[in-house]
Amino acid sequence: MRYLPLSDGDRELMRQRIGIDKVDDLFHDIPEAARLDDLVELPRMKGELEVERLLSRMAATNVAAGSVPFFCGAGAHKHHVPATVDHLIQRSEFLTAYTPYQPEVSQGTLQVLFEFQTQVARLTGMEVANASMYDGSTATAEAVLMAHRLTRRRKAVLSGGLHPHYRAVVENISDMAEDRIVALPADPTGTEDILAAIDGETSCVVVQSPSFFGHLVDLRPIAEKAHANGALLVAVFTEAVSLGLVEPAGAQGADIVVGEGQSIGNALNFGGPYVGLFATRSKFVRQMPGRLCGETVDAEGTRGFVLTLSTREQHIRRDKATSNICTNSGLCALAFSIHMTLLGEAGLTRLARLNHEAALKLAEALGKVPGVEVLNGSFFNEFTIRLPGDAAAIVDKLAEKGVLGGVPASRLLPGDPAVANLLVVAASEVNTDDDRAAFVAALGEVLA
């Protein structure tokens, strides 16, 4: 009874009080396709030693990203993370730090977040950045909500080049708020006419560059059309290293810039935790979600740091909050900031060039394989190829040959026949000439 203290009578009373017939009614907002019909297919009770052996065998069936030539991206990128990063974030004062509610005893945490904000603002070409968000997808959704507050409109236009997971998160939050979403079809060729979708009812236009399919997008005409119609431009990125070479979205007229910071300082980690980056114009700062750390001086004139703005539900009334973000990705933000500090501006630029050069070499080599077509005219370190067959099946065959050759677009866009033969391929500084040669040889054998 320690863990299940409620009787059947208690449960029946609770159901009557909240007006439901069965417990399943509590989950009616979750789509049927996302629910489990039964328990997860795992063994029932086991001892500690048995569990350790079982999970070890299960883990051994995975192919680790660092063990074979690896060319997957699509929002989760493999880069080299210096050992210094892991060493520093495991210090107890960082590893166990919580929300800095008391600035007088949280100066170290606050300074880290202040430096992080400064780096993000510089990278994105914006004037102010917050103290991190959960990940790139939730940051994008929060940007759309922020645009609605600023424009007092409820319609968002989403580019067909936006990462499908980001689009899904935006659509989910918008559905709950009964906001309107205009999502353009997937854009593997980078030729969509997003300008035609912008009108006087538009709150914001959400455009990713480099796009999900790897295309670099000129944001200037989109920003001009959006501003002419009283809308905001939300610029998205999923590859933070691109900020070392691609012109910042802020310089191209974006009003809000959001994205994923995992590429810098954070390993793949089976999909998380990651760190969302969020930056905007200073005139919009009071509608920015999350928290903002500021620099000040105390009564004696000594430099110090505080939470300047923190309009979260935990701090103010729910109806006045700008975000439902409950905490920030503090440790991941610290890892990002340490890696950025180690790189410096020149180091980030060099790293970005290495990534671009690796992608150029790979695209040129893959383009020579009979039956393969590279769809991109411009890209950073990720591009899309069209294959003469089902991309998912080809990727499985490549894996059998010891090459993780990319992400089939159909995996993230299921049911769309237009992307069934498309493969999104990423290259980075960790790929060697031997890795590229192994990929090209394996693909040639599979297609033959």
Per-residue pLDDT of the chain (448 residues), as tens digits, is 466 788 889 999 999 999 999 888 998 888 888 888 888 888 888 889 999 999 999 999 988 888 999 999 999 999 999 999 999 999 988 888 777 878 888 899 999 999 999 999 999 999 999 988 999 999 999 999 999 999 999 999 999 999 999 999 999 999 888 899 999 999 999 999 999 999 999 999 999 999 999 999 999 999 999 999 999 999 999 999 999 999 999 999 999 999 999 999 999 988 889 999 999 999 999 999 988 999 999 889 999 999 888 765 556 666 777 776 666 688 999 999 999 999 999 999 999 999 999 999 999 999 999 999 999 999 999 999 999 999 999 999 999 999 999 999 999 999 999 999 999 999 999 999 999 999 999 999 999 9
DSSP characters for 227-263?
Answer: HHTT-EEEEEES-GGGGGTSPPGGGGT-SEEEEE-TT
pLDDT of residue 277: 97
8 Å CB contact between 75 and 140 = no
Question: Going along 39-149, which residue ranges are E strands?
Answer: 128-129
Which residues on neighbouring strands pair with residue 441, listed in sequence order? Answer: none
pLDDT of residue 17: 94
Distant-in-sequence, close-in-space partners of 58: CB < 8 Å, separation ≥ 6:
none
DSSP state of 178: T
Same domain, 92 and 154: yes
The tokens describing 192, both together, are: 């969509």
Same domain, 413 and 370: yes
Residues in the chain: 448
The residue out of 273, 305, 339 marking a domain boundary is 339
What range does the domain containing 213 cover?
A: 83-339
Domains of the chain: total = 3
Q: Domain for residue 71, yes or no? A: no
pLDDT of residue 382: 98
Please state the φ and ψ torsions of residue 277, each to the nearest 5 degrees.
-105, 140
CA pair distance 440, 426, nearest whole angstrom: 14
pLDDT of residue 311: 64
User: Which residue type sits at 81?
Assistant: V
Which of 253, 292, 325, 324 minimizes the C-alpha distance to 120? 292
pLDDT of residue 313: 55
Q: Domain for residue 236, yes or no? A: yes
pLDDT of residue 324: 67
The residue out of 308, 339, 370 marking a domain boundary is 339
Q: Domain for residue 6, yes or no? A: no
pLDDT of residue 231: 98
Q: Domain for residue 67, yes or no? A: no
Same domain, 174 and 230: yes
Helices 107-124 and 330-367, axial angle in degrees (round to 10):
30
Q: Cα angle vertex 161, ends 158, 163, to 5°? A: 85
Same domain, 119 and 210: yes
Q: Domain for residue 1, yes or no? A: no
Distant-in-sequence, close-in-space partners of 100: CB < 8 Å, separation ≥ 6:
106, 109, 110, 113, 307
Which of 147, 131, 198, 164 minimizes the C-alpha distance to 337? 131
pLDDT of residue 308: 87
CA pair distance 398, 218, nearest whole angstrom: 34
Residue whose tokens read 């020579």 = 368
Which of 88, 117, 124 minimizes the C-alpha distance to 305? 117
Which of 284, 255, 299, 339 minimizes the C-alpha distance to 87? 339
CA pair distance 72, 154, nearest whole angstrom: 35
Same domain, 114 and 144: yes
Same domain, 309 and 391: no
pLDDT of residue 42: 81
Same domain, 101 and 247: yes
Same domain, 198 and 256: yes
The tokens describing 178, both together, are: 């009964």
Identify the CATH number of the domain in which residue 374 sits: 3.90.1150.10
CA pair distance 24, 399, nearest whole angstrom: 40
Same domain, 172 and 273: yes
Question: Does the pTM exceed 0.85?
Answer: yes
Which residues on neighbouring strands pair with residue 205, listed in sequence order? Answer: 157, 233
Which of 229, 218, 143, 190 minimizes the C-alpha distance to 376? 190
